[in-house]
Amino acid sequence: MKRVFLIVLDSFGIGALPDANEYGDEHTNTLYSCSLSEYFDLKQLKKMGLFEIDGVRVDPSKADDYQTGEPYIGSVARMTEASKGKDTTIGHWEISGIISTSPLPTYPNGFPADVLDAFSKAVGRNVICNLPYSGTQVIQDYGDEHCKTGDLIVYTSADSVFQIAAHEEIVPLEELYRYCKIAREVLQGEHGVGRVIARPFVGSSGQYERTTHRHDFSLEPPQRTMLDILKEHGKKVIGVGKINDIFVGRGIDEYVYTSGNKEGIDKTFYYLEQNFNGLCFINLVDYDMLYGHRNDIDGYAKALTAFDQQLGNLVSQLKEDDLLMITADHGCDPGYKESTDHSREYTPLILYYKGMEPKNYHTRDSFCDIAATILQYLEIPEQDITISGTAIF
């Protein structure tokens, strides 16, 4: 019985890609920015080989602690995003074997009137805002108007998203989710954004706060993914966090939503104790949602350190035929003060199983190599692997 635990540290980039200047991200480096914090303490990730990856840099004052050339126990690689984009949907699609040759649509000037009119008519409510906005700021600026009128706060970002913010006492959660499903039906074809996101909040004027009841309604993957192939071959696929939403449930047998990193890590330990043959695919979202988008270097570093403190225990609980993979889907540099959006960066890949001979696989051409490696490890016949990518070992 073989199992793979694939953990995505959402937005944990390790340095700007060669084409980052095309995205306004030329000098971004999420890992380096986090290393500037006094709370940065990644002893286990160092032991796994994180700091041996091509191009990884840390604060020079910490170089003697992390870039020592000491032996490490995992295998590592630097992953290049081959797709056009830098968002969650495209990043996870590529991890699962799909290269997106065209970016998903974005709306730097807001959504066109015909899209909003169709949505508003379908849900029976007006909309306000319709601008790129910080998710925490938009509810402070438009929350009072929303609570007074019941109009929905619709906003976007630099990513391909249509976000709907509503107070939970004005728009009950199930109603908000229904509105998002309607928006998802409207936003197809030319306007097929990567995700429609429910952004519920609570509180009173001047003190509005987002809740943990966020829900994503993604665009369906355009072709078979690693998950589809695994399910077709009788392998179990488990999604933890927002994985089920990202893939619209396709190829997933069992899933659990989480309120944040702590619960995501707890669920990972739970599934380590279960018997299954297949993949447990985990997304830890706090790095991106709570810290990267808010330029919170210390918060991001603390969250990385909290994961690191659990990693040794996680590794010790792996069974003989378990493969652990740790990676990311894009960057979101908390130290890049010119933007709070995702950043176009390389991502790390750490691989580990018991008895592994450590090796540096250097820089790979695509995230798709992750999917190819998983399919090979789980013994899917080569003729049935229709995705992009080359197995790493």
Each residue's pLDDT tens digit, 28-64: 999 999 999 999 999 999 999 999 999 999 999 999 9
- Check whether residue 152 and residue 229 sit in a common domain: no
| SS3 category, 281 | strand
How many whole angstroms separate alpha carbon 157 and alpha carbon 149? 24
Residue pair 55/31 in contact (Cβ under 8 Å)? The answer is: no
CATH number at residue 226: 3.40.720.10
Please identify, among 218, 240, 259, the residue that sits at the C-terminal boundary of a domain: 218
Output the CA–CA distances (angstroms, integers) from residue 68 to 42, 44, 49, 62, 280, in the order listed: 14, 14, 11, 10, 33
DSSP-derived letter for residue 343 is B
The CA-to-CA distance between both ends of the chain, in Å, stands at 19
pLDDT confidence bin for 132, thresholds 50/70/90: very high
pLDDT of 226 over the 90 cut: yes
Calculate the CA dihedral of residues 375, 381, 383, 385 and round it to 10 degrees. -20
DSSP-derived letter for residue 291 is I
- Check whether residue 77 and residue 225 sit in a common domain: yes
Query: Tokens standing for 315?
Result: 């590794």
- Check whether residue 181 and residue 240 sit in a common domain: no
pLDDT confidence bin for 239, thresholds 50/70/90: very high
Match 């893939």 to its residue by tokens. Answer: 247
* Mean pLDDT for the stretch of residues 124-153: 97
The pLDDT of residue 393: 93
How many whole angstroms separate alpha carbon 328 and alpha carbon 17? 14
Q: Dump pLDDT digits (tens) for 155-198.
A: 999 889 999 999 999 999 999 999 999 999 999 999 999 999 99
- Check whether residue 240 and residue 318 sit in a common domain: yes
Q: Return the closest-CA partner of residue 268 out of 222, 311, 303.
A: 311
- Check whether residue 259 and residue 232 sit in a common domain: yes
The pLDDT of residue 298: 98
How many whole angstroms separate alpha carbon 300 and alpha carbon 41? 12
The pLDDT of residue 159: 86
Maximal CA-CA distance, the chain? 63
* Mean pLDDT for the stretch of residues 72-76: 98
How many whole angstroms separate alpha carbon 110 and alpha carbon 137? 16
pLDDT of 337 over the 90 cut: no
How many whole angstroms separate alpha carbon 206 and alpha carbon 136? 11
Whether residue 346 is contained in a domain is answered as yes
How many whole angstroms separate alpha carbon 385 and alpha carbon 375? 8
Q: Is 215 exposed, middle or buried (0-12, 13-18, 19+ CB in 10 A)?
A: middle
The pLDDT of residue 17: 98
In the chain, the percentage of residues whose pLDDT exceeds 90 is 95
- Check whether residue 41 and residue 159 sit in a common domain: no
- Check whether residue 227 and residue 155 sit in a common domain: no
pLDDT of 339 over the 90 cut: no
The pLDDT of residue 358: 97
Q: Dump pLDDT digits (tens) for 251-275.
A: 999 999 999 999 999 999 999 999 9
- Check whether residue 96 and residue 7 sit in a common domain: yes
Q: What is the mean pLDDT of the chain?
A: 96
pLDDT of 209 over the 90 cut: yes
| SS3 category, 333 | coil
- Check whether residue 87 and residue 144 sit in a common domain: no
Match 């960057």 to its residue by tokens. Answer: 331
CATH number at residue 167: 3.30.70.1250
Whether residue 393 is contained in a domain is answered as no
| SS3 category, 16 | strand
- Check whether residue 342 and residue 300 sit in a common domain: yes
Whether residue 265 is contained in a domain is answered as yes
The pLDDT of residue 88: 92
- Check whether residue 228 and residue 205 sit in a common domain: no
pLDDT of 126 over the 90 cut: yes
Q: Return the closest-CA partner of residue 5 out of 268, 320, 262.
A: 268
pLDDT confidence bin for 321, thresholds 50/70/90: very high
Q: Which residue segment(s) compose the domain that 208 sits in?
A: 113-218
Whether residue 177 is contained in a domain is answered as yes
Query: Tokens standing for 274?
Result: 């279960």
How many whole angstroms separate alpha carbon 229 and alpha carbon 380? 8
Whether residue 108 is contained in a domain is answered as no
Match 């040759």 to its residue by tokens. Answer: 101
Whether residue 107 is contained in a domain is answered as no
Cβ within 8 Å of residue 11, ≥6 positions away? 30, 287, 288, 292, 328, 329, 330, 331, 332, 342
pLDDT confidence bin for 303, thresholds 50/70/90: very high
Q: How many domains does the chain have?
A: 2
Please identify, among 173, 201, 218, the residue that sits at the C-terminal boundary of a domain: 218
pLDDT confidence bin for 241, thresholds 50/70/90: very high
How many whole angstroms separate alpha carbon 122 and alpha carbon 129? 18
Q: Return the closest-CA partner of residue 78 out of 374, 378, 336, 331.
A: 331
Looking only at the bridges linking them, the beta strands covering 161-167 and 195-202 are parallel
Query: Tokens standing for 324?
Result: 């652990």
- Check whether residue 267 and residue 366 sit in a common domain: yes
Dihedral-angle region of residue 304 (phi above 0 means left; psi in -120 to 50 means alpha; beta otherwise): alpha
Whether residue 391 is contained in a domain is answered as no
Whether residue 86 is contained in a domain is answered as yes
Please identify, among 192, 218, 244, the residue that sits at the C-terminal boundary of a domain: 218
Beta partners for 33? none
